[in-house]
A and B are shown apart, each in its own frame.
Chain A
Amino acid sequence: MWSFGVGIFVAASLSMILFTAFTISVNPPSNVERLDPKTLHLSGEFAEHNLGTTVGSDGSVTVRAIATQFMFLPRCIVVPANRRVTLRFASPDVIHGLLITGTNVNTMVVPGFVSQVHTEFTRAGDLLMPCHEYCGLGHSGMWANVQVVAQDEFKPGPDGRISCAQR
C-alpha cells in the first residue's frame, strides 16, 4: 500500500515537470554551442563593442554579455518587460554563473561554451545580476545591474543598440 503511495509521489513529481515542459516549454538552459574562450575578444559577437542589448531587424531582443574575472561587461543591462528576450553569455577565463534576482534567469557560464537563456521579464524594475559561482578571490565583487523597463520606455537607437545610460 505504501509502495503504491510512493509510486504516486514519483509519478506526480515527474508529471509536474512534463506538464511544465509541454505547456510552457520550460527547459534548463542547455545550449551546447562551443566557442573558444581564448579568442572571444578578437572578433565575433563577444568582441567588446558588440556587448550589450541589441534589437534585431526582426524585432528580436538579444543581450550579449561577458562574465570575466571579476566583472560583467556591460555592467548594466537594459531589457524590455513582457517581451521575448534572448540572453547570451560567455566567459574568457574561468567558470562563472549568474542569476537575475526575482526571476527564473539562471545559468552557469562555462569557458568553452555560450550560455543562452530565453525568457520574458514579467515586471519592470531594477534587479541584480550577480555571479553566483566561485570564480576566484574577487568573486564577491562581481555583479551587474539589470533594468527591466516598460515597453514604451524601451527605445533603442537607430543601430538597434540600447544601454542603461541612454534610456
Chain B
Amino acid sequence: MRNAERLCLAHFWVAFAAFLFACAIGTWQMWVRSPLGANVGTPGQYFMSVTAHGVSMAYVLTTFFIMGFGYFVAVTALNRALPGKLWAWAAYWVALLGVVLTVIPIATGQASVLFTFYPPLTASVWFYIGLVLVVAASWIWCVLMLIAMTQWKRENPGRPVPLAMFATVANAVMWLWTTVGVAVELVFQVIPAAMGLVQTIDVGLARTLFSWTLHAIVYFWLIPAYIAFYTMAPRAAGGRLYSDTMGRLTFILFLIYSLPVGMHHLLMDPEHGNATKFIQVLLTAFVAVPTLLTIFTITASLEIAGRLRGGRGIFGWIASLPWERPMVLATGLSFVMLGFGGFGGIVNMGYGMNAMVHNTSWVTAHFHLIFGGSVVIMYFAIAYAIWPRLTGREYKTLGPLRLQLWLWFIGMMVMTLPWHWLGLQGQWRRVANFNYADPIIAAWGPWVVVSFAGGIILLASAVLFVANLAALHRSPALGIVRPLYALAVHPPLRVPAALNGFALWNVLVLVLMIAAYGYPIAQFLIDPSPGAIVHRVR
C-alpha cells in the first residue's frame, strides 16, 4: 500500500506548492493595489501575477488536492485497494505536464488573460492546451472513482456505500458534468482562435459556456470540505454524525443544483433575457439548501460530542468541545467564515440586487471567504488529519497547527471584511493600480491597507502550514492509527437505491440542464451574434 500513500502525497505536494506560491504573489498584488505600492510593478507583471494566482489556486491546488483526497478516500473508506493504480499515476503525470505547459506561457507574459479567459482576448495556445490536459487527467480520476465504487457495490450487495466515498463519487459525477461547458468553449472557440484558425469569436456563446462551468466548479472545490464536515469532524470531536441520510441528501443536492445555476454569473450580461436569468436565480436559491442542511446536521453532531463530554444547557456543549484538535477548530472557524461568505452570497444572487455589487471587491471578498476561507481551512484540517497516516509519523505538538488555523482565519477576516465595505462603495475588480488622487478613491485607501495586512497574515499562515507538513516528514513514527471516519447515530443499514447511486440524479440533472441552458445556448445557434475580432495577448 505504500504506493497508494505515495500517490496521495505526490498529489498533495503539487497542490500545496502551488498554494504557497499563489499566496505569495497574491500578497504582492495586494501591495501593488494599495496606496503603499504606487508605481510598483507594471500592468504586464500585475496581470501575469493575477493569472498565475488564479490558475494556481483554482486549477492546480483544487484539482490536485481533490484527486489525491479522492484516492485516499477510495482506499480508506472502502477499505480495498485502488483499482487502476497505473491509470492514477498516468493521470498525475498528464496533469503535471498540463501544469508545466500552462505555466510557461504565463511566466513569459503570453497568457495574461486571467484564469477565466475573457475571449476575444486570447493567450498562447499552450496555456489552454495545458489546462485541457489538467481537466482530461481529472476525468481519469472521475472514472477511477466510479469504478472503485461500482466494484465495492458488487462485492457488498445491498450495503450502503460509505458516506465519504458516496460524496467523493458525487463530486466526480458532478465534475464530469461541470467540465463539459468549459471544454466545449476551449476546444471549439478559444483554441481555434488562439491558433489563428479563426479571426472572430462569438463572445456571448463563449461566456454562456463558461458560466456552465463557473458555478459548479466551486462546488467541486467545496465538496472535500463537506466530506470532512460529515465524516471526520464528528469523530474528531468525540461524537457521532447526527444523520447519515442528511449527508447523502446534501451531496445529491449539490450534484443537481450546482449545475443549472451558472448564469447567475451573467446577471449583468446583455446577451441573455430576464426570463432565463430569473429561472437560474430561482434554482440558485435552492443551492442554499444543502449548505443550510449541513450547518444544522454538523452543529447537531458537534452538540452530541459536546454533551457526551459533559456540556449542559442550550449552549454549554460548545465550551466542552475539544477545540484543541485541529479538525474541530477548523470546522468551527470554517462555519464562521461560511456564515459571512453566505451573507455575501445571498446579496450576489439577489437578481436585480446583483447590480449593486457585480464585479466589485464584494464578489472578491465573497469567494475568498467561501473558497479561500471555509474550504481551504478544511483542506488544511484534512491534510493535518491524514498526513500522519500517509507518512506514518506523529505530531510532537499540535500548537503550531492550531496557530496556523487561527492565523488563516484572522487573516481571511481582516482581508475580506474591508473588501465587502469597499465593494459597496464601488471599488472595482481586476485593476493593477488605483488613482488615489481621486477623492472617492482616496477614501478607500486606509481600508485597502487593512486588507493588505490581512494578506500578510494569510501569507504567514500559508508558510506555517507548509512548514508544519514538512516537519511531520521528520517526526517520530506513528504509534497508534486513530480511526478517522465518524459513525452515524443510526448507522444506515439499508438505504434506497436513490441514496446509494446516481442514476436517478443524472437524469434529473439532464432535465434541469436542458431547461436551464437549452434555450440560452440554442439562441446563439439559431441567430448567431456578430463575432468579435480576436485580440491576441502574447
Contacts and interface: CB of A to CB of B under 8 A. Distances in A.
Direct contact of A and B (CB under 8 A): yes
Interface in B98-121: 112-114, 118-121
Contact of B438 (A69, A128, A132, A135): A128
A108 B278 CA distance: 17
Contacts of B203: 95, 110-112
A145 to B, nearest CB: 9
A111 B270 CA distance: 10
The 7 tightest CB contacts between A and B, nearest first, are: A101-B426, A26-B352, A111-B532, A132-B428, A36-B530, A132-B359, A140-B431
B425 interface: yes
Contacts of B36: none
Nearest to B114: A134
A139 to B, nearest CB: 6
B302 to A, nearest CB: 15
B147 interface: no
Interface in B444-496: none
A140 B432 contact: yes
A50 interface: no
A99 B204 CA distance: 20
B289 A10 contact: yes
Nearest to A114: B270
B307 interface: no
A73 to B, nearest CB: 18
Contact of B359 (A28, A33, A112, A133): A133
Given A14-B282, A131-B428, 7 more contacts: A13-B346, A17-B350, A34-B527, A102-B426, A106-B268, A133-B429, A134-B430
A115 B204 CA distance: 12
B533 A38 contact: yes
Given A29-B270, A99-B426, A108-B268, A113 B359 contact: no
B440 A101 contact: yes
Nearest to A70: B43
Contacts of A99: 358-360, 426, 428
B271 A17 contact: no
B292 interface: yes
Interface in A51-102: 69, 91, 93-95, 97, 99-102
B346 A94 contact: no
A100 to B, nearest CB: 8
B419 interface: no
Nearest to A31: B270
A132 B431 CA distance: 8
A34 B530 CA distance: 7
B395 to A, nearest CB: 36
Interface string B252-281: 000000000000001111111110011001
Given A99-B359, A107-B268, A127-B440, A94 B118 contact: yes
A37 B532 CA distance: 6
Contacts of B286: 10
A95 to B, nearest CB: 5
Dominant secondary structure at the A interface: loop
Interface in A17-32: 17, 20-21, 26-32
Given A6-B293, A29-B268, A33-B270, A112 B202 contact: yes
Interface in B348-370: 349-356, 358-360
Interface string B419-440: 0000001101111111000101
Contacts of B47: 134, 137, 139
Chain B facing A: main interface SS: mixed
B426 A128 contact: yes
A97 B268 contact: yes
Contacts of B430: 132-134, 139
A132 B78 CA distance: 48
A41 to B, nearest CB: 13
A14 B535 CA distance: 40
B518 interface: no
A128 B44 contact: no
A138 interface: yes
26 contacts: A10-B289, A13-B285, A16-B350, A17-B281, A28-B351, A30-B274, A93-B532, A94-B120, A95-B120, A99-B358, A101-B426, A106-B354, A106-B355, A107-B270, A108-B269, A108-B270, A110-B269, A111-B203, A112-B530, A112-B531, A112-B532, A132-B359, A132-B360, A137-B44, A138-B43, A139-B432
Given A106-B268, A128-B438, A112 B274 contact: no
B288 interface: yes
Contact of B352 (A6, A17, A112, A132): A17
Given A9-B292, A17-B281, A33-B270, A130 B428 contact: yes
Contact of A9 (B119, B288, B351, B529): B288
Contacts of A9: 288, 292
B537 interface: yes
Contacts of A127: 440
B441 interface: yes
Interface in B405-419: none
Nearest to B530: A36
Interface in A108-128: 108-116, 127-128
A35 interface: yes
Interface in B298-316: none
Contacts of A93: 120, 532-533, 535
Contacts of B202: 112
Contacts of A21: 278, 351-352
A133 B409 CA distance: 29
Q: Which of A93, A127, A140 has the most CB of B within 10 A?
A: A140
Contacts of B432: 139-140
A136 B121 contact: yes
Given A3-B293, A94-B118, A134-B47, A28 B537 contact: no
Nearest to B354: A28
A151 interface: no
Contacts of A114: 270
B535 A94 contact: yes
Contacts of B46: 140
Given A94-B121, A137-B537, A37 B530 contact: yes
A27 B531 contact: no
